[in-house]
């Protein structure tokens, strides 16, 4: 069932989304060589709780941390650890959720560890393409289009830049539950048409995961961390958005 949000619910979600976005921004600003992913996770938890919210991911289906922090060839769902020390040249994907007054906000970004002036040009293009593909997708995130229009725009952007889009993990609606229906693929599902028509006041999270090499991924032995199968880098970008008649509103905007 598709959950259309009331104005009251939307106002609450604007707050939860802003908390998540600010927590993500705070963590990104702390990324330097020598810091552990566990330390970043701790700062995320402290920020979210200081705003009267709780981390959405903590104990979600048993997840043992407050945020997902994935490094280099880790695509998503990396578990923060004390012994995971960031190094110059790492790319770090942080995925944050915050639950405020019963509603979730969800966002992610990819950060470069070290002096950005020294970033490898192909790595830079990968990170930029993940973000660009999100913005290409939300051109169709408005009443009158379908979910498949978003996915087609994202896939076209990613592949035209020489990268691949992950298939196994996709976007989703957000609300009282972190993951609600409908699902939001970031690619065209062959033989399935364009899918659900977008409705005013739907709230969805669009989160393209873009691989430098093959689209194929593999779940690791910890049953959470997902890596690229070929060992190449991966980038991730996500925002929670509100569907409107004249476009969409990005809710996960930091101060």
What are phi and psi for residue 160, nearest 5 degrees?
Answer: -70, -20
Residues of the chain predicted below pLDDT 50: none
Spatial distance between the Cα atoms of 39 and 62, rounded to a whole number of angstroms: 20
pLDDT at 190: 67
Identify whether the C-beta of residue 174 lies closer than 8 Å to the C-beta of residue 83. Answer: no
Indicate yes or no: pTM above 0.85: yes
Spatial distance between the Cα atoms of 246 and 243, rounded to a whole number of angstroms: 9
- The 10 Å Cβ neighbour count of residue 190 is 6
Identify whether the C-beta of residue 150 lies closer than 8 Å to the C-beta of residue 206. Answer: yes
Phi-psi region of 32 (alpha: psi -120 to 50; beta: other; left: phi over 0): beta
Spatial distance between the Cα atoms of 5 and 242, rounded to a whole number of angstroms: 9
The 10s digit of each residue's pLDDT in 21-41 is 999 999 999 999 999 999 999
- The 10 Å Cβ neighbour count of residue 215 is 20
Domain ranges of the chain: 7-250
Spatial distance between the Cα atoms of 104 and 10, rounded to a whole number of angstroms: 11
Residue 109's beta-bridge partner residues? Answer: 94
Given the candidates 3.90.1150.180, 3.40.1350.10, 3.10.110.10, 3.90.230.10, the CATH classification of the domain at 7-250 is: 3.90.230.10
Identify whether the C-beta of residue 252 lies closer than 8 Å to the C-beta of residue 105. Answer: yes
Identify whether the C-beta of residue 208 lies closer than 8 Å to the C-beta of residue 236. Answer: yes
pLDDT at 192: 58
The 10s digit of each residue's pLDDT in 168-191 is 999 999 999 999 999 999 999 765
pLDDT at 37: 98
Spatial distance between the Cα atoms of 157 and 145, rounded to a whole number of angstroms: 18
Residue 95's beta-bridge partner residues? Answer: 68, 108
Identify whether the C-beta of residue 243 lies closer than 8 Å to the C-beta of residue 253. Answer: no
What are the CA-CA distances from residue 7 to residues 51, 181, 203, 242, 243 (Å)? 22, 19, 12, 11, 13
pLDDT at 194: 83
Q: Is 81 exposed, middle or buried (0-12, 13-18, 19+ CB in 10 A)?
A: middle
pLDDT at 61: 96
């Amino acid at each position: 069932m598709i959950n259309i949000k009331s104005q009251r619910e939307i106002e609450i979600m604007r707050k939860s989304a802003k908390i998540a976005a600010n927590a993500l921004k705070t963590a990104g600003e702390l990324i330097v060589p020598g810091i552990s992913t566990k330390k970043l996770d701790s700062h995320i938890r402290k920020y979210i709780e200081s705003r009267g919210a709780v981390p959405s991911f903590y104990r979600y289906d048993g997840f043992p941390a407050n945020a997902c922090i994935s490094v280099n060839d880790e695509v998503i769902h990396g578990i923060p650890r004390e012994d995971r020390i960031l190094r110059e040249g790492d790319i770090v994907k942080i995925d944050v959720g915050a639950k405020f007054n019963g509603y979730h906000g969800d966002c992610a970004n990819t950060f470069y560890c070290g002096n950005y002036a020294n970033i490898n040009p192909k790595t830079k293009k990968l990170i930029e393409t993940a973000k660009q593909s999100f913005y290409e997708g939300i051109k169709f995130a408005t009443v009158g289009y379908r979910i498949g229009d978003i996915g087609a725009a994202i896939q076209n952007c990613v592949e035209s830049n020489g990268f691949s889009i992950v298939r196994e993990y996709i976007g989703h609606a957000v609300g009282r539950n972190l993951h609600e229906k409908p699902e939001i693929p970031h690619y065209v599902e062959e033989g399935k048409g364009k899918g659900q028509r977008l409705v005013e006041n739907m709230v969805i999270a669009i989160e393209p995961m873009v691989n430098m090499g093959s689209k194929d991924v593999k779940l690791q032995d910890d049953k959470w961390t997902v890596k690229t199968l070929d060992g190449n880098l991966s980038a991730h970008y996500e925002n929670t958005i509100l569907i409107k008649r004249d476009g969409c509103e990005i809710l996960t905007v930091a101060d």
